[in-house]
């Protein structure tokens, strides 16, 4: 029995008979559900990483990689997906493409965990507010997807917001930019191979590529200062041991969503994660919020309102089109 992430896009969500000819609906209900779930989980990740103190970002990321690989291997066994996985291993193009995805997600993970444990969650949120802009333009320029007029307005407002936030930050926002571009290109790769690589097999390949790097990082941490796994408390050990599942579940949801939604819509839904991260940084961690940051985030929220109106209008038009007799 296949998991939801392994099912063809045509069989997920609404019955195929209710869909327009030519493939899944751009606003697939299952795709939206997967995307929203992934980004909400990502939004609360800073709280999880902060709870892992005194573990440093390098150790956390290394355990994330190795435990995610174990988690994915178990999923392949449960879903009987090993045969398709071995077939992917023999496809050199897929193998090296997923290796590139692994490099991008490694950079993203390390930067994000560093931001969380060093008290820079608001800048991480800025990065994920920038990322949908990167994602949208990749969709337009590479995948030939099209923006509506209102979506262009939302993008324009978002660009202004990013400029205001960057200026108000007072220094080069390298954390935000690395997060935005690494995950933007990662999403593009997942979109391009989505029809050939299911979510579980894809993440397994990515973490398999990174496993030697993770093992080397753990050796380096142990030699330089000592590992924290199993040395702090039972609760800390349990939390760190859950890093594989905590890492894999939203990534699997994201991969499933990327197979069902146009990259443009997928990029805009990502605003869920930075909005939650913003609330965590401001309300829980009490990070500073000067006037410029408030203005920038207010502009982002205006862009979200514009986008929401456009998405609701498109959803109604799609339902009306499906309801019309052929």
State how many domains the chain has. 1
Cut 0.75: pTM above it? yes
- Chain Cα centroid distance, residue 212: 23
Residue 17 maps to a domain: no
Residue 36 maps to a domain: yes
pLDDT, tens only, 196-248: 787 788 889 999 999 999 999 999 999 987 889 988 899 999 999 999 899 88
Residue 9 maps to a domain: no
Calculate mean pLDDT across residues 34-60: 91
Encoding tokens for residue 320? 């009306």
Residue 21 maps to a domain: no
The residue with tokens 């930075």 is: 274
> Residue 4 has what pLDDT?
36
Residue 7 maps to a domain: no
Residue 10 maps to a domain: no
Q: Which domain holds residue 241?
A: 26-323
> Residue 315 has what pLDDT?
67
Residue 103 maps to a domain: yes
> Residue 25 has what pLDDT?
45
Angle at 144 between CA 138 and CA 147, to 5 degrees: 80
Query: What confidence category does residue 155 fall into, taking pLDDT thresholds of 50, 70 and 90?
Result: confident
> Residue 12 has what pLDDT?
32
For residues 76-104, one letter each, b for 16 or more C-beta atoms within 10 angstroms of the residue's C-beta and e for the rest, the string is: beebebeeebeebeeeeebeebbeebbbb
Residue 6 maps to a domain: no
Angle at 267 between CA 106 and CA 30, to 5 degrees: 100
- Chain Cα centroid distance, residue 293: 24
């Amino acid at each position: 029995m296949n998991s939801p992430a392994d099912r063809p896009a045509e069989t997920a969500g609404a019955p195929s008979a209710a869909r327009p000819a030519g493939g899944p609906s751009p606003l697939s209900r299952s795709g939206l559900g997967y995307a929203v779930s992934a980004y909400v989980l990502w939004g609360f990740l800073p709280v999880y990483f902060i709870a892992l103190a005194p573990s440093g970002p390098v150790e956390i990321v290394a355990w994330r990689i190795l435990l995610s690989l174990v988690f994915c291997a178990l999923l392949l066994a449960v879903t009987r997906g090993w045969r398709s996985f071995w077939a992917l291993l023999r496809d050199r193009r897929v193998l090296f493409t997923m290796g590139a995805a692994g490099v991008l997600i490694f950079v993203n993970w390390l930067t994000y965990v560093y931001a969380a444990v060093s008290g820079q969650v608001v800048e991480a949120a800025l990065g994920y507010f920038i990322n949908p802009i990167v994602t949208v333009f990749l969709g337009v320029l590479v995948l030939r997807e099209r923006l509506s007029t209102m979506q262009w307005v939302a993008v324009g407002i978002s660009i202004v917001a990013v400029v205001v936030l960057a200026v108000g930050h007072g220094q080069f926002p390298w954390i935000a930019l690395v997060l935005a571009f690494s995950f933007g290109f990662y999403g593009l790769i997942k979109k391009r191979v989505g029809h050939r690589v299911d979510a579980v097999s894809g993440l397994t390949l990515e973490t398999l590529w990174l496993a030697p790097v993770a093992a080397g990082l753990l050796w380096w941490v142990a030699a330089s200062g000592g590992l924290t796994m199993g040395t702090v408390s039972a609760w800390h050990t349990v939390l760190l041991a859950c890093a594989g599942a905590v890492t894999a579940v939203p990534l699997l949801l994201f991969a499933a969503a990327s197979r069902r939604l146009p990259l443009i819509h997928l990029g805009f839904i990502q605003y869920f994660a930075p909005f939650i991260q913003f609330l965590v940084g401001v309300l829980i961690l009490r990070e500073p919020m000067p006037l410029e940051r408030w203005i920038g985030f207010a502009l982002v929220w205006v862009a979200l309102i514009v986008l929401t109106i456009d998405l609701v209008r498109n959803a109604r038009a799609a339902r009306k089109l499906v309801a019309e007799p052929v």
